[in-house]
Chain A
């Protein structure tokens, strides 16, 4: 199994541009999570999906952030417009129901 796949691994963009991060969960996992890692706050949950349905998006910082899961094998996290304070590592994780989560390698986003 390839594990959770994220793309791109690194993204450098300019303030105001749209950024789209992509995630392919492990096949058969029912839940998908998006996290942001910063030095100050560690790993923060942004949103999670259960069976492709968003369950809790209370961690999404602003309306500039949106996430979709059109099917069981793909999810996107979009930031529009991006700002320098969005610079962080974004992780996607997937989980069988009520078990530990398996993380992807992360996308390092730099907004200049």
Chain B
């Protein structure tokens, strides 16, 4: 049973526009959330995270929003660039170390 869900397998956005990737989770015990980015033939790389005590975390063009009551988080990329084209994984963890990953969303930024 998937505890972390990414319901959109793919997303296409024009360069310069905003990309919004969504993620839902079911386990209310999750207290830390992360986004990973994955290019073909490479392992996922950490992008940005947020603790459950916050509702927003920003790092440059990347912002993650957390809505605990809805058990929903989103990643905003603005402005989107062609180099952002990749698969994005949402992940969540409790106090223990193991991460639960979603199935990923493939973002394509069109020049």
Contacts and interface: CB of A to CB of B under 8 A. Distances in A.
Interface of A: 4, 31, 33, 35, 40-45, 48, 50, 55-56, 91, 93, 95, 97-98, 100-106
Given A43-B44, A91-B43, A100 B34 contact: yes
Contacts of B43: 4, 91, 93, 103-106
Contact of A42 (B45, B96, B104): B104
Chain B: interface size category: 20 to 34
Contacts of B104: 42-43
Contacts of B91: 43
A24 B35 CA distance: 24
A50 B99 CA distance: 14
A48 B97 contact: yes
B97 A105 contact: no
Please report whether the interface of chain A is mostly helix, strand, loop or mixed according to DSSP.
Answer: strand
Nearest to B49: A100
Interface string B95-108: 11111111110000
A14 to B, nearest CB: 24
B53 interface: no
27 contacts: A4-B43, A31-B97, A33-B97, A35-B101, A40-B103, A41-B2, A42-B2, A42-B101, A42-B102, A42-B104, A43-B44, A43-B104, A44-B101, A45-B100, A45-B101, A48-B97, A55-B96, A55-B97, A56-B98, A91-B43, A95-B97, A98-B97, A100-B46, A100-B49, A102-B46, A105-B42, A105-B43
